[in-house]
Chains A and B, each alone.
Chain A
């Protein structure tokens, strides 16, 4: 087990969300969209220009900017 933030995960990596921070609006949006402690997220790809990134969460695909993903701390099962 190792801790990281979502934006730093490589393509294909899965992890469990530990905490979601950021300014209140961002935190609330992330939580509403299902990115909350305990959920599993998988990095699918990064956009051709390097940002944003696509993740799988709760069975659907979500695009978010790396700066936003940096507020999601995750735990990678090794």
Chain B
């Protein structure tokens, strides 16, 4: 089975880190992540596949590729970063073991053919990643990890109920069969609404988004990167499938409202953030809200959402890794303590600036294109008034975040330059990739034609 290869490599990596290779966990992890990257690129060119357990179409391939790229980058960045944390909560081999099993669960979640098993996979990501949040080993980190585990688990119980309802409404949980029978009925609708709320919790969608900023703010940089970049989109994956199964008007409006409220809260909340990692966490909420809007609207807005998710993954993972660099050199998490990064760490500063522009949707980036598609479809469906309110919220987010980032990067006195670590290359490559995604849009569109109707 070629499709399970990335997940299998990650699992093997995790097992090897635990047994036998405790001293060489870094080498093992780099090796397995490279293998899974190669295999996921290979999957990209193989045929669609569906059996009783696996359902792989182009959407799954895109998600696999995204996970694999971010995974590879995060593993490489972790090599040095994890050594710099003093008084770790878990040992280094445990860190890599959990990271690998976490990624394996995500790989599995996007290729499974059963909504119940997808739930199992996504819940598995929760408990495998909870200890990663607490690596820094102070009371705040533990509290953040605890909030993460309890709020997300409660949210996922809701989506479990949803799964139960879907099963009793349609007598099957297989995505392939559900796509063919096109179920309707009130029990299905109720299940679908609960499904959106439940998985929305994990994706940081409005009513239960409180854990997200805590967990992203307190976890070490590579973990924040992989959370924001892939964990949130993977939680949106079942919702994408749901809208493929039945694009109902009521459901679509419900998801639109949730997404709209997430965008609104995130953009307003980002105004009074004093810690830069929390600032970017709110930016993630905003982007996920936009992606949910895109998913709910369907057709070309769905393409916009996927582009947004894809480009956001690279840009946001890059940004979070760069914040790790800043934290390491400035020893502070507050925005007001940081100034003149461009003088002290030229590469970090420059790419933090580019990355934040890309993430908030400045024109040359692919995220701009995604947002553009989503907003135009919104205006098309819901009229100018709602569209312009949404645009103004996105604009507010753009202004607040970039204002703070520019303050951090360009202001301040001249300081002595600090030698940047060689691993800064990883976030730089990631941010560059996200900008280069713009070029690949036509290919992406042709590739996703089966998914977007």
Q: Do A and B bind each other?
A: no
